[in-house]
Chains A and B, each alone.
Chain A
Amino acid sequence: MTKNAIVPQAWILLASTAFVGCYAEIEDSSVSYRQTDVCGTPSACTGNGAPLTLDSVFIPAVNVNLGDSGVLTSSESKQGPITFNGSLILNKVTITITVTTPQTADFSGITSVDLRAALNGNNCAQIGDNCKSVASYDSTRDGPAIRTLVINGVGANLLDFASGNNKTVRIIAKATGNAPAPVSWNGDIDMNTAIKARGSFP
């Protein structure tokens, strides 16, 4: 192929890319929503080393308001030729013991945790259309937890479970094993996510 035959092809290649695949996006790999005193104030979570099953209330349901920041656009939407979509992927959830009576509480008795996101007020007794597993902890796989329990996400998009103007997500934790040994304890919950919002054309 001669040089003069190659040049027009290079033009066409460059010109073609100008009209396809245009986008604008913003992403943040680490956005943490933190709530203190996850078991309420002044009430506390159940302790006493009580045996836990998947029906037990390990910690009360947590409602996380993601806020109406504009970048949290869950489903695909169109404005003219521009298509918007976004995601809020759950990286991990960390529960940290902050208050304990006496001061010896830890999560060493916890065997597994299944963190679930509920829709439409579902109590997440069963996994189904209105309740999905979004993160899990397994002491054998992840190692024993002491004062901090890290529940790793499974890649769920929390925006699929958000509702209302403030995009509230209801999180319910189910656990097996034994609750922390002290009579009562309390802690903070930190939900680490990755945000991505994208508008693409055409």
Chain B
Amino acid sequence: MFVFGCLCRSVNCFIPNAGGGNALWPTPSRRAEIWEAVTFSVLSAFIRRGDSFAHRPGFKLRLLCLLVPLLATEAVAQSPLVSSPTDAATPSKTAPPVETAPPPAPAAAAGIEPAQVPTIEQEPWYSLHKGRKFGVQLDLGGPDGGGLTALFRPYWWLRVNAGLAYNIMGVGIRGGLTAIPVRWVVTPSLNFDLGHYFNGDFTKFVTPSNDAERALLQDTAYDFWSAQIGLEFGSQEGFAFYVKGGIAHLSATVPGAEVSAYMNSKGTTSGTVTAADAHFSALLPCFSLGFTYFIF
């Protein structure tokens, strides 16, 4: 919690100053309500799977993987070092006072009641974003590889990215959408990306046994998409670091001529093999980490 609190203060993260809590920074009672809903949904989801599910290998590890991000989010939300304006207004016996109070909002300085200042989430969802809209994103992960993309944020809750993708096997293009349902100190995100690699040289990872196999593996274009959830640390209006994890789907069409040559090279001595185009697909876990920086 201390680390998260220091990180929050050092990167000037978004802390609304509207009193009484709001959707961006709920009151303690509201946070408890959210956490109760999270806990209930986790437990009920697994209980419905039956007792036998809990005895499957790796169950506890998977459950832990699910709960850690949620616990981290809740822990930050309850951190006294990054306590909400409501918390700051109510002196606590255990928590130290907030070292840096948020600067007064222009509206408050003009004599307007803080509760009247519309926060980002109180604006209609279709309202265009009034902050920085354009930025860049650099990330690295697997199996998608790395990417350098341009960012555009039409709405506060939606980011669009498009750019170049690269992995050791080749280069490609990719684009995607990121939805930010809420803005907290550690902001959760839902991400969907898709792309296309123009070539994929799998011989960098697999040693082919003959020329036909080399031809099959050496020049394989493929498509991919990924759906990931993420946690973003930092300012949504400036620099933010993120980690994401989820699933990725790869698909490729292998030319029939190359499949035929490969099959014939593998000992079909009694005749010849003629194959149509083959289709490769994979659904894999994926992860990525990177940063976003909004410039203007």
Which applies to chain A's interface (DSSP): helix, strand, loop or mixed? mixed
Q: Is the CB of A15 within 8 A of B284?
A: no
Is B273 close to A, CB under 8 A?
yes
Q: Which of A58-66, A117-125, A144-152, A175-183 lies on the face that meets chain B?
A: A58-66
Min CB distance A109 to B, Å, is: 27
A-B contact list, 23 entries, CB within 8 Å: A4-B23, A4-B26, A14-B228, A14-B229, A15-B65, A15-B69, A19-B62, A21-B283, A22-B247, A22-B282, A24-B280, A24-B283, A24-B284, A25-B282, A28-B277, A30-B275, A30-B276, A32-B274, A36-B271, A64-B271, A65-B270, A67-B264, A202-B58
Interface string of A23-49 (1 = CB under 8 A from B): 111111111111110000000000000
Most chain A beta-carbon contacts within 10 A, residue among B70, B272, B276, B278? B278
Chain A positions within 8 Å of B42 at CB level: 12
A18 & B41 in contact (Cβ 8 Å cutoff): no
Q: Within 8 Å of chain A (Cβ to Cβ): is B181?
A: yes
Does B283 lie within 8 Å of A11, measured CB to CB?
A: no
Please provide the chain B residues from 146 to 201 with a CB less than 8 Å away from any CB of chain A in the complex: 181-182, 188, 190
Total chain B interface residues with beta-carbon distance under 8 A: 52
The 6 A-B pairs at the shortest CB distance, nearest first, are namely A24-B282, A67-B268, A28-B278, A30-B276, A35-B271, A5-B37
Verify if A103 is at the interface (C-beta below 8 Å from B): no
Residues of A close to B181: CB separation below 8 A: 3, 7
Residues of chain B within 8 A (CB-CB) of A16 are: 45, 62, 66
A22-B285, A28-B279 known; 7 new pairs, CB 8 Å cut-off, are A11-B69, A12-B45, A14-B190, A18-B245, A26-B279, A63-B270, A67-B264
Which residues on the A side are within 8 Å of B229 (C-beta)? 11, 14-15
Min distance, Cβ B52 to any Cβ of chain A, angstroms: 15
B18 on interface, CB distance cutoff 8 Å: no
- The 0/1 profile, CB within 8 Å of A marked 1, for residues 245-278 of chain B is 1110000001010010011101111111111111
* A65 nearest in chain B by CB position: B270
Which A residues touch B284, using CB under 8 A? 22, 24
B281 on the interface (CB 8 Å rule)?
yes
Q: Is B82 in contact with chain A by the CB < 8 A criterion? A: no
B57 within 8 A of A: yes
Chain B residues closer than 8 Å to A35, beta-carbon distance: 270-271
Chain B residues whose C-beta falls within 8 Å of the C-beta of A14 in the assembled complex: 190, 227-229, 246-247
Task: Indicate whether A8 sits within 8 Å of B282 (C-beta atoms), given known contacts A18-B246, A29-B276, A63-B270.
Answer: no
Contact B34 A8 (CB under 8 A): yes
B279 to A11, Cβ gap below 8 A? no
- Scoring A residues 55 to 97 as 1 if CB is less than 8 Å from chain B, else 0, what string do you get? 0000000011111111000000000000000000000000000
B283 and A22 within 8 A (CB) = yes
Say whether A12 contacts B66, CB under 8 Å.
yes
